[in-house]
Amino acid sequence: MTASLSAALRLMPSPTPTLLPDPASGLRPDATASQRLARGLDAVRHGVLLVDADGRITACTAPALALLHRLGLGGAPTFRRLLRLARSGCGLGTRELVARLRGGIVLDVALGGHSVQVELHPVPGEGAALVLEDVSARRAAESRAHALARLDPLTGLPNRLQLREHLDAALLRLHRKAEGCAVLLVDLDRFKPVNDTLGHPVGDALLQKVADRLRAMVRAGDAVARIGGDEFVVLQAGVSGPDEAQALARRVVDLVGRTYMIEGQLLSIGASVGVALAPADGQDADRLLKNADLALYRAKLDGRNTFRFFEPAMDARMQARRRLELDMRQALARREFQLHYQPQLNLADERLVGCEALIRWRHPERGLVSPLDFIPLAEEIGLIVPIGEWVIRQACRDAASWPQPLSVAVNVSPAQFKSDRLVETIVSALANAGLPAARLEIEITEGVLLQDNEKTLHTLHRLRDLGVRVSMDDFGTGYSSLSYLRAFPFDKIKIDRSFVTDMGTKADGEAIIRAIAGLGRSLGMTTVAEGVETAEQLRRIRAEGCTDVQGYLISKPLAADDLLRLLSAPATPLPGAPA
């Protein structure tokens, strides 16, 4: 028996309790109130059904009727048929289902392709009122959102969240079926420079292509995820030993490392891969990822573009690194840093023109630590900012006691440019030391110009306006040294030591030095050859037209006192100078 609720209400004894005059509000429903209520209920999105004690539907609102039709119960809907449908849609028995509904629980049931929320409200003496709501659209949106929250929008690969689920599933198979797996943590080499120099659209396209290659490389059952900017994870399933993981890791390095064609440009990046195996290297997701990360770190230290398997010793090395970090944090306060100075010589008049300040760390247990062993870590953890500030102040103080016009060159790291203090630090260091700005030089590498170019160039120009000179260090080793020469009018180009070393052994070493010297001449920049160790190298460098030299042949880096002694000693002829 189905009638619209409006009809049913007309049959009911009137007035119903809710339609009584309300003394508090003064509301006085009239005889048409029940009809208006029925019309009102028809306008409510929820469907309302009245069911009598025998389970007969005695009334229902228009939306309820429409919903019953959609569920395929249009002909002669009974509460019983509705219950049967609901039972299959939520996997409960009739008794359980009714008990829950009576207990006031709102049930979400899948009915004929729809998601319907059902609640039941007992009506004393009448049976019950059922409230139905079609929540299919909402549930679909929720499941889309759920899927999206687990996907990386750029590549469509699972993100870290979904990787977690894949890992947990793989580890379940490990415990249930003793089926091993491998976690390959993939980090792209040289992605950042591409992204920074060629723009984010190119970077994005490149990441998508990498994702495609990784996807194409794995078997069904494996998973590929993107968990960070240029970090991917390949989860290899069903791995019984290192050989299979090794074969895949090798393919990842090989295939990701092949060139890419994007927007008409040929690009090349590399992949470093760290591998952890379950169960050998860990049996939970966190440990596997951590150990793969340690292995990746090793792969990068070993020159990148390669893969490494996790080894327990890596963990020990990591701890040593952490100790170094702790020590370094205290080294400034304990005054363990020192500056050494390496003279630079002008070849035209064979006079010293200045010295490069090179930091040394006198560690209480380790002895003298090379900057190569702690500067990268200091950069990574941001400690280079206070250390670099100390270097600038100390170098200015020391240089103020040297004879005019000797200048001091200070190495400045990318991280120092990121902090906004650099210019103020330099201004106050010069003022405190009483050193003219023209006697200070800063050496930057290409890494400085790779980041936030606008801001960096602005800072460099401010320094130049003060009178501080700027040199490009390690020239020729970077990604696009030449383009940076155009970005900023450097005062000096320091030709990387590797070219000087190559001069004797490789045919092109000398040609490169000649080219850079020529470049410097036409751009009006000084050219310094670094790492000159032999008289033969000096002879050739002079012949190729470099203006200045620096290297062990002239002098090793000296402690401040030793330098002062050298400066006050009578000039000695330059080793290798023509007699």
Spatial separation of the C-alpha atoms in residues 57 and 73, rounded to whole Å: 12
Shortest Å distance, C-beta 521 to ligand C2E: 22
Residue span 355-374 as binding mask against ligand C2E, x where in contact by CB under 6 A, dash where not = ---xx----------xxx--
Judged by CB under 6 A, the chain residues 249 through 308 that form the site for ligand C2E are: none
Q: Which is nearer to ligand C2E, 184 or 359 (CB)?
A: 359
Query: Candidates 41-49, 56-64, 242-250, 531-539 — which segment interacts with ligand C2E by CB under 6 A?
Result: 531-539
Taking phi first (over 0 means left), then psi (-120 to 50 degrees means alpha), and beta for anything else, what does residue 172 get? Answer: alpha
CB atoms within 10 A of CB 438: 13
Neighbours of 242 (CB within 10 A): 15
299, 270 contact by CB (below 8 A): no
Contact between 436 and ligand C2E (CB under 6 A)? no
In 359-421, alpha helices (H) = 371-380, 384-399, 414-418
Q: What is the rounded distance in angstroms from the CA atom of residue 169 to the CA atom of residue 320?
A: 34
Residue 222 near which of Mg ion, ligand C2E, none (CB within 5-8 Å, type-dependent): none
105 token code pair? 């629980």
371 makes contact, choosing from ligand C2E, Mg ion, none, with CB < 5 to 8 Å by partner type, with ligand C2E
Q: How far apart are CA 150 and CA 132, in angstroms?
A: 31
Q: Quick check: 133 binds Mg ion (CB under 5 A)?
A: no
- Measured from the CB of residue 404, what is the shortest distance to ligand C2E in angstroms? 23
Q: Which does 265 bind (CB under 5 to 8 A by kind): Mg ion, ligand C2E, none?
A: none
Query: What is the x/- site pattern for Mg ion, positions 469-508, by CB under 5 A?
Result: ----xx----------------------------------
Instruction: Extract the tokens encoding 539.
Output: 């002879």
* 9/408 with CB nearer ligand C2E: 408
Q: Does 411 bind Mg ion (CB under 5 A)?
A: yes
CB nearer ligand C2E, residue 257 or residue 371: 371
- Shorter beta-carbon distance to ligand C2E: residue 306 or 413: 413
What CA–CA distance (Å, rounded) separates 205 from 194?
A: 11
Kindly state the number of chain residues that form the binding site for ligand C2E, as judged by CB under 6 A. 23
Q: Please, what is the minimum distance in Å from the beta carbon of residue 550 to Mg ion?
A: 9
d(CA 48, CA 131): 5
For position 389 contacting Mg ion by CB under 5 A, the verdict is no
Beta bridge partner(s), residue 250? none
Helix residue ranges per DSSP H, 234-280: 242-256
> What secondary structure does DSSP assign to 307-357, as a single string?
EEE--HHHHHHHHHHHHHHHHHHHHTTTT-EEEEEEEEEETTTTEEEEEEE
Cα distance between residue 357 and residue 394, in whole Å: 9
Question: Which positions from 486 through 505 interact with ligand C2E, judged by CB under 6 A?
Answer: 497
User: Counting contacts by CB under 6 A, is residue 386 touching ligand C2E?
Assistant: no
DSSP state of 121: E
Residues in Cβ contact with 395 at an 8 Å cutoff, skipping those fewer than 6 apart: 339, 357, 408, 410, 429, 440
Q: Which of 63, 180, 447, 557 binds ligand C2E (CB under 6 A)?
A: 557
Provide, rounded to whole angstroms, the least separation between the CB of residue 372 and Mg ion: 11
Query: What part of residues 158-177 is at the interface with Mg ion (CB under 5 A)?
Result: none
User: Which C-beta is closer to ligand C2E: that of 179 or that of 491?
Assistant: 491
443 near Mg ion (CB under 5 A): yes
Q: Secondary structure of the chain: what % helix, strand, coil (to 5)?
A: 50, 25, 30
**If binding is defined by CB under 6 A, does position 127 make contact with ligand C2E?**
no
Backbone region of residue 551 per phi and psi (left: phi > 0; alpha: psi in -120 to 50; beta: other values): left
Applying CB under 6 A, the span of 143-151, 164-172, 261-269, 530-538 interacting with ligand C2E comes to 530-538
> 15: cis peptide before it, omega within 30°?
yes
Provide, rounded to whole angstroms, the least separation between the CB of residue 476 and ligand C2E. 12
Q: Please state the closest distance from residue 347 (CB atom) to Mg ion, in A.
A: 18
189 touches, from Mg ion, ligand C2E, none (C-beta below 5 to 8 Å by class): none
Cis peptide bond upstream of 21, omega within 30: no
- In the bound complex, what is the minimum distance in angstroms from residue 210's beta carbon to Mg ion? 32
- The nearer residue to ligand C2E, 222 or 446, going by C-beta atoms, is 446
Return the number of the residue (98 or 529) whose C-beta is nearest Mg ion.
Answer: 529
Report the partner that residue 230 touches, choosing among ligand C2E, Mg ion, none (CB closer than 5 to 8 A by kind): none
273 binds, among ligand C2E, Mg ion, none (CB under 5 to 8 A by kind): none
Can residue 391 be called a binding residue for ligand C2E (CB under 6 A)? yes
Give which of ligand C2E, Mg ion, none residue 548 binds (C-beta under 5 to 8 Å, depending on kind): none
450-489 binders of ligand C2E (CB under 6 A): 473-474
Distance CA 130, CA 56 (A): 12
Residue given tokens 């002895």 in the structure block: 367
Asked if 503 and 476 touch (Cβ cutoff 8 Å), the reply is no
Decide whether 476 or 557 has the Cβ nearer to ligand C2E: 557
The DSSP symbol for 46 reads S
Between the CA of residue 296 and those of 218, 275, 334, what are the distances in Å? 20, 7, 34
CB nearer to ligand C2E: pick between 120 and 331:
331
* Binding region for ligand C2E (CB under 6 A): 342, 358-359, 370-372, 375, 384, 388, 391, 411, 413, 443, 473-474, 497, 530-533, 551-552, 557
Task: Enumerate binding residues for Mg ion (CB under 5 A).
Answer: 411, 443, 473-474
